[in-house]
Structure 1
Amino acid sequence: MQLTGTPFLLLTIVLVPVSIAVALLLWGRVRGPKPFQALSRIVMLLFCQLTAVLMVFVMVNNANLIYGGWDDLLGTGNHVRAVPNVQAQTDGGPGNDAQRPKVIQKFEPVGDGKVPDDVRTTDLKGQVSGVDGEVLVWLPPQYDDPAYKDRTFPVVELLPGWPGSSKTWFGTLRVSEQLKPMMLSGQVAPFILVSPRTNLLGDNTDTGCADVPGKVNADTWLARDVPQMVLDNFRADPAADRWAVAGYSAGAHCAAKLALEHPDRYRAGVSLSGYNDPGTEDKSLTAKDPHLREVSNPLNILKAAKTPPRTALYVSGNKGDGLEAGEALKAAAKAPTTVTVQETAGAHSSDVWKPMVPGVFTWLTSVIPAAGH
C-alpha cells in the first residue's frame, strides 16, 4: 500500500472513528485489578490519538508530498549503487556525454492521482554518477504539434526541498497545470519540465546536491546523468543557453549552486526561499566537511570564479528566509552574471511558492530562448 495512495489515506480516515468506537465499547468492560483497568484505558486513548495524528500526517504529506514513499519516510531507501571517481568533463554543455551510446528509457504515467496524468516517470540508472532513481518528465503542449516536429525545446530541471519528493513540483506546486495555458497563449516558452529524485541516501541525510567522496555523486546525477537521459529520449536542445534549474528550500540552494558551478550546462537558476551556507542545515552532508561546506556555498562559488559566469539567477525569499542570501549574491555579481531578487512575505511553505510559478517562468522565458530548430 503506497504511502501517498488513496487506499492508505482512506484507511487512516476509517481508523479514527473505529478507534473511538472501540474505546467506547470496551471502556466499561475492562476487568481485572484497577491498575490494569487504568492502563488499558490509557492504551485506548493513546490508540485514538495515534490514529488521529496518523490521519493528519497522511493528509499533510499527501498535500505537500514531503515523503514520496515508505522508503523515504523510514529512511530505508538507498539509491546509491556505486560511488565512482567522476572524471571532469572537458567539452561542456548538458550533452557532453553524447559520445556514449544513447540509452532509451521506458516512460509510464505516474498514475497515483497526485500529479496530472500527462506527467511521466522512468527509473534511471545513472551511468556516470552511480545513482539510481526515478525522474519525472512533462512535455509542453507544443511538443506533439506537427508545426514543432523539427523543433528542439528548452529544459528546466525542478528540484524539491529536503525531505522532498520528485512529485512535489507537479503535485503540490501544480507547475504543469499552471503553465500549460500560459504556454498555449505564448506568455511562457514551451519548456520541457524534469523533476529528478534528490533524496538519495537511506540515512535521511541531505546530499546538498554535491559529489561527496565515498558517499554519493549527487551533483553528477543532477547535472550529467539526468540531462543526458533527457537528451537521449526527447527533442531537448543540448545548448547550455537552453537549460535552467529551479528549486525551493534545500532545492533552491541546489539550484543556485548548480547554476553557478556549471555555467556550461545551465543558463539560469531559480532559488525560492533558499540559502547560501549549507552549514545552516544540520542534516546536510556538505555541512559536515569544512571544505565541502565552503565550495558548496553559491556565494563562494561566485566569488571564486576566475571569470564571472554567464548565469542569470532569480532569488526570492522573506527576511531571514532567503532574502539575505539573494542580496549577498546580487552584491557579489559582476557582468555577465545577473541576479534578480524578489522579497516575499509568508511562511516557508508551498503556499508562498505555488503562486510564484507563473512569474518565475515568465522571467525564465525572458532569459532562455524558446523552441528552436
Structure 2
Amino acid sequence: MGLTSNNVVILAVVGALLLFTATIWLWPRLAGRGVTAVLGRVGMLLGTQVSVFAAFGLFANQSFGFYGSWADLFGAEDEVGVVVDHDTPGTRVKVTETRKLNVSGGSSPEVGGRVDKVTFRGPVSRIAGPGYVYLPPEYFQPRYAERRFPAALVLTGYPGTTEALINGLKYPQKSQKLVKEGRMQPTILVMMRPTVTPPRDTECMDIPGGPRTETFFTKDVPRAVSAHYRVGTRARNWGVIGNSTGGYCALKMAMRHPEAFSAAAGLSPFYKAPLDATTGDLFGGSKRLECENNLMWRLDQLPAPPVSLLVSSSERGEKNYGATMRFVAKVRELNRRGESIRISSIILGTGGHNFNTWKREVAPALEWMGARLQAR
C-alpha cells in the first residue's frame, strides 16, 4: 500500500487506538516494581506514543503532500527514470514516464486521460525543471484529433511537491469529472512546483543575478508545451492557477504578462513577495522592482492588464482575508472606470491555509478557468 493511500492512514489510526486500548487494559497487570513490570510499562507507553505519532504523521503527509512514497520518505528513491522518447526535433519537453489516471475506466487514455511525467528545458531562462502534464480523454479521441486544447499551468505552494497536485488536490481527477459532467471544457493541465532552483524560494521572479524563474514559466514552459502537445499558443489559450505561493505567482504572472496568460486563479494567495531566509534578496536592492512585484501597488500605479482573475480566502482561518477583500475592491473600482481587468472570488466561511481548504476550492476554480480559456 502506498504511503499516501487511505488504507495506510486508516490502518495507522486503528493500530494506535488498539495499542491505546491495550495499554489501558494491561496497565493494572504491569503495576509491580519488578524489572519485567517496568519494562512492560515503558514498552506499552513507547508503543502507544509511536503509533499515535505515526498516525498523525501519515494523516498530515496525506493532507499536505510532503512525501509521495515510502522510498521518498526514507530517502531511498534512486530509481532512474525510463525515457519514453516522444520528442520531435526542436521541442523542449522530455517525457520520462506515462501514467494512467486513477479513475473509473482509467486504464484507457480515451476514457481516463493520461499523465506524462516530463522535464522542461528552458532555452531563454536556462532553467530545466520537472513537471506533470495531464492530457484529458478527449485528447486521444478521434473526433478531437485536429483540436488544439486550452491549457492551465498549475503551481503548488512553497516548498510543495508536484505529486501533491495529483494525489492530494487531485487536479486531473477533478478536471476529468467536471468535463464529464459538462461543467468544463477539456483542458490540458501542466502541473509544477514554483521552486525550480531548490531550496531557494524565488517567488516566480527573475532575480537580478539569479534564477530567471518568471521567464521560465511565462515563456519557456508555454512554448515548450505548445510545441510538443496540441495546445494553443496565444494568451487566450492559457491560464495559470496555484495555491499559497503558487497563488501569488499565478496572479502576478498574469498581471505582468497578459501576453502569456489571459486568466489566473490564486487560492489563498498573498499579494507581495516575502523576504526571508528562504528567499534571500529577491530584488537586488531595487525598490522599484519590489514595488512592481507588489500586486496592490500595480493596481494603484500601473495600467490594468486585460486579464480575468480569481482569488480565494476564508472569513475565519485565513490571514489574507483582509488583503483579499481590498484586492477585490481595487479591481472592481478599476472595472467601474472602464478597465478590462475582471475579478471573481471564492470566500469560504471558515478554512485555514491548508490542503483541506484548497480541496474545496479546486473544482470551482477549474470550472471558472475553463469558462475563460479558448481552445484556439
| Band the TM-score falls in, shorter-chain normalisation | 0.7 to 0.9
* In 2, Cα distance between equivalents of 1:140 and 1:51: 40
Compared CA separation, residues 209 and 70, structure 1 to 2 (3 A): farther
Matched ranges for 1:62-73 at <5 A: 62-68=62-68
- Maintained 8 Å contact 1:268/1:311: yes
* In 2, Cα distance between equivalents of 1:366 and 1:7: 36
Aligned residues: 343
Aligned partner (choices 347, 355, 365) of residue 343 of structure 1: 347
1:147 is aligned to 143
1:90 is aligned to none
- Tell me the alpha carbon deviations over residues 222-266 of structure 1, each in whole angstroms, 9 at most, x when there is no partner: 222221221122100001111100111121111111111111100
- Listed as ranges, the gaps of 5+ residues in structure 1 are 78-99
SS of the counterpart of 2:231?
A: coil
* In 2, Cα distance between equivalents of 1:212 and 1:322: 25
Greater RCO structure (CA 8 Å; 6+ sep): 1
* In 2, Cα distance between equivalents of 1:356 and 1:312: 17
1:105 is aligned to 94
1:167 is aligned to 163
- Maintained 8 Å contact 1:286/1:293: no
How far the C-alpha of 1:7 sits from its partner, in A, is 12
Matched ranges for 1:46-57 at <5 A: 49-50=49-50, 52-57=52-57
SS of the counterpart of 2:191?
A: strand
2:298 is aligned to 301
- Tell me the alpha carbon deviations over residues 188-218 of structure 1, each in whole angstroms, 9 at most, x when there is no partner: 1111111013233444x42212122344332
2:363 is aligned to 358
- Maintained 8 Å contact 2:174/2:363: yes
Compared CA separation, residues 162 and 74, structure 1 to 2 (3 A): farther
- Maintained 8 Å contact 1:105/1:233: no
* In 1, Cα distance between equivalents of 2:279 and 2:137: 39
How far the C-alpha of 1:10 sits from its partner, in A, is 11
- Listed as ranges, the gaps of 5+ residues in structure 2 are 78-88, 107-111
SS of the counterpart of 2:261?
A: coil
* In 1, Cα distance between equivalents of 2:230 and 2:340: 29
Compared CA separation, residues 122 and 327, structure 1 to 2 (3 A): same
How far the C-alpha of 1:171 sits from its partner, in A, is 1.8
1:182 is aligned to 178
- Maintained 8 Å contact 1:107/1:121: yes
How far the C-alpha of 1:135 sits from its partner, in A, is 1.1
* In 2, Cα distance between equivalents of 1:226 and 1:41: 58
How far the C-alpha of 1:41 sits from its partner, in A, is 8.3
Amino acid at match of 1:357: V
Amino acid at match of 1:265: A
User: More deviation in 226-235 or 52-61?
Assistant: 52-61
Amino acid at match of 1:127: G
- Maintained 8 Å contact 1:5/1:112: no
Name segments (4+ residues, structure 1) moved above 6 Å: 5-17, 40-44, 69-75, 111-114
- Maintained 8 Å contact 2:194/2:203: no
2:279 is aligned to 285
SS of the counterpart of 1:163?
A: coil
SS of the counterpart of 2:350?
A: coil
* In 1, Cα distance between equivalents of 2:365 and 2:7: 35
Asked if 1:136 is matched to 2:141, the reply is no
* In 1, Cα distance between equivalents of 2:56 and 2:346: 33
How far the C-alpha of 1:137 sits from its partner, in A, is 1.1
How far the C-alpha of 1:309 sits from its partner, in A, is 0.8
User: More deviation in 160-169 or 284-293?
Assistant: 284-293
- Maintained 8 Å contact 1:109/1:118: no
TM-score (normalizing by structure 1): 0.73
1:276 is aligned to 271
Aligned partner (choices 305, 309, 323) of residue 313 of structure 1: 309
Identity level (%): 25
SS of the counterpart of 1:363?
A: helix
- Tell me the alpha carbon deviations over residues 17-71 of structure 1, each in whole angstroms, 9 at most, x when there is no partner: 9x99xx99xx99x999xxxx99x98799557634542443133213431344799
Aligned partner (choices 322, 325, 337) of residue 324 of structure 1: 322
How far the C-alpha of 1:284 sits from its partner, in A, is 4.8
Matched ranges for 1:185-196 at <5 A: 185-196=181-192
Amino acid at match of 1:321: K
User: More deviation in 232-241 or 212-221?
Assistant: 212-221
* In 2, Cα distance between equivalents of 1:247 and 1:157: 8
Asked if 1:232 is matched to 2:227, the reply is yes
- Maintained 8 Å contact 2:118/2:130: yes
How far the C-alpha of 1:5 sits from its partner, in A, is 8.2
* In 1, Cα distance between equivalents of 2:10 and 2:129: 28
* In 2, Cα distance between equivalents of 1:173 and 1:345: 20
SS of the counterpart of 1:108?
A: strand
Asked if 1:212 is matched to 2:211, the reply is no
User: More deviation in 289-298 or 331-340?
Assistant: 289-298
* In 1, Cα distance between equivalents of 2:298 and 2:242: 18
Asked if 1:254 is matched to 2:259, the reply is no
How far the C-alpha of 1:103 sits from its partner, in A, is 3.3
